[in-house]
Structure 1
Amino acid sequence: LFSVELSADVDKIKEICASNQIEILWTSSKHNLAKAVKKWPIVSAIAILDYSGAEDAYNAAIQTLANFMACCRIADHVDQPSFFA
């Protein structure tokens, strides 16, 4: 029951972010996220509330996300030979 409620809450947050053009970046683990932001030992979530002064880094992160998602879409169809013809 708790996991269903948590899932619903996460879905609401994702919808709110999408409707406000707020990107969500996912990592594979709390440890990887902690390494990325140079914190120890783990980090569960981060938020960038104002990225002024870091537009280049923000745009690079968004471009990396877009490239990753494009690769995921291609990988989802790698079993279709006609896709690469």
Structure 2
Amino acid sequence: MRILYFAWLRERIGISSEEVETAAPTPAALVEELRAREPRYAAAFADTKAVRVAVDQEMRGWDADLAGAREVAFFPPMTGG
């Protein structure tokens, strides 16, 4: 599965994307796997209330089904003006 990181998540983790092997059933479970990998992931995902998730380029909730997903993107909420 391809994982994309945007904005300050990319800065804290140090990469913009990566390919991972996972059996995580949801984005929430995927984040738990990532947090356990290294401190930089734990820091980036310390407050998931400040993070949005998209699965295969569609906005989803933290409990979305990842079965068959090819891509998960994590990014901060958008602001505009």
What is the TM-score with the length of structure 1 in the denominator? 0.24
Structure ranking higher in strand proportion: 2
Structure with more relative contact order (C-alpha pairs < 8 Å, separation 6 or more)? 2
Structure ranking higher in helix proportion: 1
What is the TM-score with the length of structure 2 in the denominator? 0.25
